[in-house]
């Protein structure tokens, strides 16, 4: 799939036009209700600025969480509208409905360079169904559509796909940056090319493993998914997370890596606990001898060294999914150690997935990673070579 020839925000006439722009403002919140990571919002500023500089009347829209097709104040985009008002230093009004009469009136009242935000598109039942009526309703608010929501590019919804039937459509700067950075790294990687995969499940990443095996020099596996591979090697893995129906597939993947001369590395030791809890008793054990009643919750110190060695001299690193339950302090060491190793390797580094992005931010290393993707699922789909409907539907140049 070639997405690099899609029309961009610079290829459509936006001057003085009403422009509907789909963003990914699906941001995380802390316990006090504050946005805990504003990156998805700040990353959209380049496109917003381009539009307001050209006197466009900007109508932003996004989803937030999974409200299930009806209004739920818990998923309101109010905090995002407030934050946008603050950083844009202008009043960003939030509509009271999604593309209804209130949105229409607000859109019509916009002056040159004004910005408004529609309420959560997933408050409407038509959004996730890619409903034609709802798509038409959304499109009727504007004259041009820009998709800057890389994080939802792998979903065919009304505000990402349906709306493009009715408006001239192009991608925004964030979409362009994400797609070109990841695509170029895959097509012309500086070698050695190392991929690191972690997170909970092998099943989520089978496609991407197969695709990366064709391209990388080294594949490093950590996190919960590593235990299915250890099981395939006949190791006792205690009560570690394991997908029993994927054990033979894990064996096939390791055999395929051998055939393709891809270095395949899994943990040699692990931090294990007796229960799945941040306060569990814990110790470090070798991978081939996890005791009965103990579960692997992070890679161990020897593995940290092993993974660091694998990254030594790397030219390109692509990483998705944490090395353990990084959101718990006791089991964050492995992920933090690998983040440091990636940064110190001087490789061109691409990191995807919310948990990993949060860990990088916690370490204060966000500026040291070459590219932190705003889309976990979308970046995996792109790595896998899958169709991204939100991009496919945009016109070619």
Q: Which residues are catalytic?
A: 40, 201, 354, 377
CB of 284 to ligand AMP, least distance (A): 14
Nearer to ligand AMP, 201 or 302 (CB): 201
Q: How far apart are CA 393 and CA 172, in angstroms?
A: 14
The nearest distance, CB 122 to ligand AMP, in angstroms, is 20
Residue at shortest CB range from ligand AMP: 199
Q: At what angle do helices 333-344 and 354-363 cross, to 10 degrees?
A: 70
Shortest distance, position 224 Cβ to ligand AMP, whole Å: 3
Q: Where are the alpha helices (DSSP H) in 290-346?
A: 301-311, 333-344
**Based on CB atoms, which residue is closest to ligand AMP, 162 or 223?**
223
- According to DSSP, residue 275 is labeled S
Structure tokens at 141: 């608010």
Tokens matching residue 88? 């844009």
Q: Are 11 and 51 in contact (CB under 8 A)?
A: no
**Residues whose CB falls within 8 Å of the CB of residue 76, separated by 6 or more in sequence, listed in order:** 64, 94, 119, 120
- 92 or 325: whose CB is closer to ligand AMP? 325
Cα 130 from Cα 163, distance rounded (Å): 9
Which residues lie near ligand AMP (CB under 6 A)? 199-201, 204, 223-224, 241, 296-297, 321-322, 324-325, 327, 353, 355
Residue 35, strand partner residues = 29
* Closer to ligand AMP by Cβ: residue 106 or 241: 241
């Amino acid at each position: 799939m070639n997405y690099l020839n899609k029309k961009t925000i610079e290829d459509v006439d936006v001057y003085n036009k009403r422009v509907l722009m789909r963003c990914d403002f699906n941001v995380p919140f802390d316990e006090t209700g504050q946005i805990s990571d504003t990156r998805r919002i700040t990353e959209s500023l380049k496109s917003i600025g381009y539009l307001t500089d050209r006197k466009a009347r900007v109508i932003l829209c996004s989803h937030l969480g999974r409200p299930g097709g009806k209004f739920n104040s818990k998923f309101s985009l109010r905090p995002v509208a407030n934050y946008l008002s603050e950083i844009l230093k202008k009043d960003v009004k939030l509509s009271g409905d999604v593309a209804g009469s209130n949105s229409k009136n607000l859109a019509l009242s916009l002056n040159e360079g004004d910005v408004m935000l529609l309420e959560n598109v997933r408050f409407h039942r038509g959004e996730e169904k890619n409903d034609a009526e709802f798509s038409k309703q959304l499109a009727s608010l504007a004259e041009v559509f820009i998709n800057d929501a890389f994080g939802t590019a792998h979903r065919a919804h009304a505000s990402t796909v349906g709306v493009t039937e009715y408006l001239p459509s192009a991608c925004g700067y964030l979409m362009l940056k994400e797609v070109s950075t990841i695509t170029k790294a895959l097509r012309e990687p500086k070698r050695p090319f190392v991929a690191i995969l972690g997170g909970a499940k092998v099943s989520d990443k089978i496609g991407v493993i197969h695709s990366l095996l064709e391209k990388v020099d080294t594949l490093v596996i950590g996190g919960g998914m590593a235990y299915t591979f250890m099981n395939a090697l006949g190791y006792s893995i205690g009560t570690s997370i394991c997908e029993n129906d994927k054990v033979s597939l894990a064996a096939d993947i390791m055999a395929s890596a051998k055939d393709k001369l891809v270095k395949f590395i899994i943990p040699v030791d692990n931090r294990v606990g007796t229960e799945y809890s941040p306060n569990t008793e814990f110790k470090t054990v070798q991978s081939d001898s996890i005791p009965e009643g103990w579960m692997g919750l992070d890679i161990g110190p020897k593995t940290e060294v092993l993974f660091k060695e694998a990254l030594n001299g790397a030219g390109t690193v692509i990483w998705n999914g944490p090395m353990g339950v990084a959101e718990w302090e006791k089991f964050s060491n492995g992920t933090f150690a690998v983040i440091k190793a990636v940064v110190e390797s001087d490789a061109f580094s691409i990191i995807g997935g919310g948990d990993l992005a949060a860990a990088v931010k916690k370490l204060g290393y966000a500026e040291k990673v070459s590219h932190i993707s705003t889309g976990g699922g979308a970046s995996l789909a792109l790595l896998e070579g899958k169709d991204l409907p939100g991009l496919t539907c945009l016109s070619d140049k």
